[in-house]
Structure 1
């Protein structure tokens, strides 16, 4: 069993909102921060920017959207404030630990597949008490490829000693996690906590990790999913 981390096990959005709130004193700027983060994080994932540069450039772009021009030094200072507040707010979703415990008690081998820099993500996993929860950690910053590239899913299966068709992956992003896993021959599962559109019948969908055990002991669709394979 493979799992994403942010907004799957860890409530990353809540922590990120808390960090921004401490920096600017309001929630009203959240949509701008979210759009800016989507843009700049994609550049990090695509190796256009390293993580530290991405953080500084994102902060500069965010404040520029409100007409304030700041230099790299000031952007780094503000980012450090935001990052520290966010890290203090890191916490698991209520359904994460019970689900992980059930899977471990059921004898499943567990892996993380996450798009992030190595040191940062390992620190996060340890901070929420999951340092010993997984057999394998597959982090894009370590393996050199990122979801939805099939190679990162294949790397996880190889590390688990299993074939893709014997492995399921669950995450909160439909294309990056669920469909990406399905295209790599795994059982992709979409964790749609917020009931976001579009609904899909291409992969199984759950609204909570509390629903995952029932899905796993039931009949998952055969893989690979024919309509997803080029």
Structure 2
């Protein structure tokens, strides 16, 4: 993949020094891995919409601190099978979750646009960080398995600091670790509210990575459909020195 950004289309704000990236569904193709794991567990992934709904419900409980991650995983599995009329005890739910988790980890893969984008960003002299919601050990294991452990100047995980996106404090924590003010940092992620808008509220330049073409009527931030579009979004400032001021949103749509 070769980047050939058109600087005339997408001016970026002056003085960008770093890019933060979400992990799941931004760098890691988590849906593909989760679907693969569900097929191994059930023989089909036709129940994927139910898994998504149950996951959203139970993951929200983890993010608010209501339950720990391991407990959440077991209770999610129980709730998923209960939706189909099967009641699981804790031990059986844990066994099935362990099988699903192992299958998912074997299926972890980067999106095709990740490696070229990271190489371009690093070659441009930008600092790089990951900002992600999940347990710290779990997310760092993903980075290691994906060959990304050495790519980032900072890794900020909600499970380590007790603050989850979209709380502005997690984005500001990333800026502190990068030793940069928020106005010099871009954050890119697949969740409009939790990533792009959350980062913007913290004073960063939020960018929504809308890989699936979701409706974005309330997208008051720049939108890209793949990381191969990110260099073009940034190149006016990084290469040509074009500026639109640190208080302006990026102009791409």
Fold equivalence (TM over 0.5): yes
- 1:15-54 CA-to-partner distances (Å, cap 9, x unmatched) read 0111111001111110000000001011111101100000
Could you say which residue in structure 2 is the equivalent of 1:149? 167
Q: Tell me the matched-pair count.
A: 226
Match of 1:29 in 2: 47
Q: Within 5 A, what are the aligned runs for 1:62-77?
A: 62-77=80-95
Alignment of 1:1-230 (within 5 A): 1-218=19-236
With normalisation by structure 2, the TM-score equals: 0.87
Q: Which moved more, 1:212-221 or 1:15-24?
A: 212-221
For residues 225 and 184 of structure 1, do their structure 2 counterparts lie closer, same or farther at Cα, with a shift above 3 Å needed? farther
- TM-score of the superposition, structure 1-length normalised? 0.95
1:114-172 Cα deviation digits (max 9, x unpaired):
00101111101100000101000000011110000000000000000100000000000
- Provide structure 1 residue ranges, at least 5 long, that are not aligned to the other structure: none
Q: Contact 1:187/1:221 (CA < 8 Å) preserved in 2?
A: no
What is the CA–CA distance in structure 1 between the aligned matches of 2:79 and 2:248, rounded to whole Å?
Answer: 40
Are the equivalent residues in 1 in contact too, given 2:192–2:219 (CA < 8 A)? no
Q: Cα deviations across residues 33-90 of structure 1 (Å, max 9, x unaligned)? A: 0000001011111101100000000000000000000100000000001000000000
Unaligned runs of 5+ in 2: 1-18, 238-242
In structure 2, relative to structure 1, the CA distance for the partners of 1:31 and 1:133 (3 Å cut) is same
2: CA distance, partners of 1:66 / 1:125 = 34
Deviation at 1:217, TM superposition (A): 1.9
Q: Which has the higher contact order (CA 8 A, sep 6+)?
A: 2
CA distance in 2, matches of 1:206, 1:223: 20
What RMSD over aligned residues (CA atoms) do the two structures have, in Å?
Answer: 1.4
- Mean alpha-carbon deviation: is it higher for 20-29 or for 56-65? 20-29
Partners of 1:67 and 1:225 lie apart in 2 by 52
Is contact 1:118-1:142 (8 Å) kept? yes
8 Å CA contact 2:135–2:160 kept in 1: the answer is yes
Partner SS, residue 127 of structure 2: coil
Instruction: Report the Cα offset of residue 221 of structure 1.
Output: 6.5
> Would you say the 8 A contact 2:35–2:45 is kept in 1?
yes
- How far apart are the structure 2 equivalents of 1:155 and 1:5? 16
